[in-house]
Structure 1
Amino acid sequence: MSSCKSISTSLSSGAKFSKEDGCAKANGQIYKSITSSLLHLSTTRPVIMFATWLMSRSMQNPFEFHFIAIKRILRYAQGSLDFGLVYKKKESSQLVGYCDSDWAGLLMVQKAQVEVVAQSSAKVEYIACAIASNHVVWLRKVMTNLEFKQVKGTLLYVDNQTTVAIAKN
């Protein structure tokens, strides 16, 4: 796939992954290997994370259409080699958080945990910050278990001034 034609999206819009379409089964061992590699790659290429997660749900029983979708993700990754996250080593191992929310993503997360109705986008951002704070507490405990004790408080950056004002109130 190193010389494949690249594409601009990792998933085709409106793709349906249904077992009832009569497709043949795919080679599960190869499918698992590729999917696992893509999950590892998603640590530096978060844009493929959702598509890879979606495909990883069928690792136990993949069909040919799953394999075609995995190949599409590989074609996207091949075309976006210059994009990605770079992790740099620093002197400090201080934990820092970033919080941003969109309506759809937060509502999907909230539906899984607790039903919340927000009356404004600022409140949605505030709820996202509360969820991020819970994740920070959990990550601090994990880091302590890994012997990376956090001495100072964790900075949580938010891109919404109204949310910051609500949090200070």
Structure 2
Amino acid sequence: MNDLGILHHFLGIEIYQEDDGVFICQKKYAEKILKKFGMFGCNPTDTPLVVNEKLKKEDGGKKVDASNYRSLVGNLFYLTNTRPDIMFAASLLSRFMNDPSHIHLGAAKRVLRYIQGTLDYGIKYDSKVESKLIGFCDNDWAGCMDDMKSTSGYVFSLGSGAVSWCSKKQQTVAQSSAEAEYISAGLATQQTIWLKRILEDFGEKQEAVTIHCDNKSAIAMAENPIFDGRTKHIAIKHHFIREAIEDDVPSNIILQDK
């Protein structure tokens, strides 16, 4: 075995190790994507997607090369290894890979324009910040125009930087914003349990983990074991989070308002 010194690059990820912490990014890979799709040097935008824009499969737009579109979305997904800020956009665009239109391609190119203006973005892990696991979860109630399903999203930070993030369409149609948020919190709870076990294996045992949720009704459902008429429509499988909150081992979860 050869000692190659401090790690600087790994599978397209750049690692900068300093005395005060570690910074990871994919600047060179992002530049490669922009050049590959002819967008290097384009005018940047402040957001990956147009605010409140709704994309759907049958939008009447002109069809484009599906192979090129799939390649673009695949490259964006790999970039999410250090860029959680484009996770939702990449997940949304992946729903149209079978039959993309020029509207979908335009939305994907807007993400590239956002990347052009944020090439230096990455994740900084500060060595001086306490390694405390904290989670955040949210959803876009009935955000999908094709089947009215919601998208769950979560992100977990360990100290100063994000360590786990996800954007995933829910399997069932939520009949209320509280239900959509409750399902999202359940997904975050599953990830919390897995992260706590991994950290314990590393010798970083965590106390009660706080998951921030911005829906008071969902928090009340998780904490109150009494069902009422307004919550009976929620499938039993979604109440996994309640068991996790009540069980001290191994989860020990605290659901908290943002």
What percent of counterpart residues are identical?
A: 32
From the superposition, tell whether residues 115 and 139 of structure 1 become closer, same or farther in structure 2 (CA, over 3 Å): farther
From the superposition, tell whether residues 96 and 28 of structure 1 become closer, same or farther in structure 2 (CA, over 3 Å): farther
What is the distance in 2 between the residues matched to 1:34 and 1:136?
A: 31
Tell me the SS of whatever aligns to 1:33. Answer: helix
**TM-score, reference length from structure 2:** 0.44
What is the distance in 1 between the residues matched to 2:72 and 2:112?
A: 9
**C-alpha deviation, 1:18, in angstroms:** 3.2
Taking CA–CA contacts closer than 8 Å with sequence separation of 6 or more, which of the two structures ends up with the larger relative contact order? 1
What is the distance in 2 between the residues matched to 1:49 and 1:67?
A: 17
Q: Does 1:56 align with 2:94?
A: yes
**TM-score, reference length from structure 1:** 0.63
Paired amino acid for 1:64: H
Correspondence 1:73-112 to 2 at 5 A = 73-86=111-124, 97-101=133-137, 109=152
**C-alpha deviation, 1:24, in angstroms:** 1.6
Q: Mean Cα displacement is larger for which, 57-66 or 150-159?
A: 150-159
Q: Does 1:13 align with 2:51?
A: yes
For structure 1, the 5+ residue unaligned runs are 119-123
**C-alpha deviation, 1:5, in angstroms:** 0.3
Partner of 1:37: 75
**C-alpha deviation, 1:47, in angstroms:** 1.1
Correspondence 1:144-163 to 2 at 5 A = 149-151=201-203, 153-155=205-207, 157-158=209-210
**C-alpha deviation, 1:158, in angstroms:** 3.2
8 Å CA contact 1:38–1:52 kept in 2: the answer is yes
**C-alpha deviation, 1:60, in angstroms:** 1.5
Q: How many residues align?
A: 146
2:103 to 65, 74, 78: 65
What is the distance in 2 between the residues matched to 1:102 and 1:139?
A: 19
For structure 2, the 5+ residue unaligned runs are 1-38, 142-149, 153-169, 213-218, 220-252
From the superposition, tell whether residues 151 and 54 of structure 1 become closer, same or farther in structure 2 (CA, over 3 Å): same
**C-alpha deviation, 1:139, in angstroms:** 4.3
Compare the two structures and name the one with the higher helix fraction. Answer: 1
What is the distance in 1 between the residues matched to 2:121 and 2:137?
A: 22
What is the distance in 1 between the residues matched to 2:209 and 2:96?
A: 36
**C-alpha deviation, 1:159, in angstroms:** 7.9
8 Å CA contact 1:98–1:156 kept in 2: the answer is no
Tell me the SS of whatever aligns to 2:96. Answer: coil
Superposed CA deviations along residues 74-97 of structure 1, whole A, max 9, x for unmatched, are 000111112222469x9xxxx963
Paired amino acid for 1:80: T
Paired amino acid for 2:191: H
Partner of 1:121: none
**C-alpha deviation, 1:19, in angstroms:** 4.2
Superposed CA deviations along residues 18-49 of structure 1, whole A, max 9, x for unmatched, are 34443221111111111011111112111111
**C-alpha deviation, 1:153, in angstroms:** 3.0
**C-alpha deviation, 1:68, in angstroms:** 0.6
What is the distance in 2 between the residues matched to 1:103 and 1:23?
A: 27
What is the distance in 1 between the residues matched to 2:204 and 2:68?
A: 46
Partner of 1:134: 190
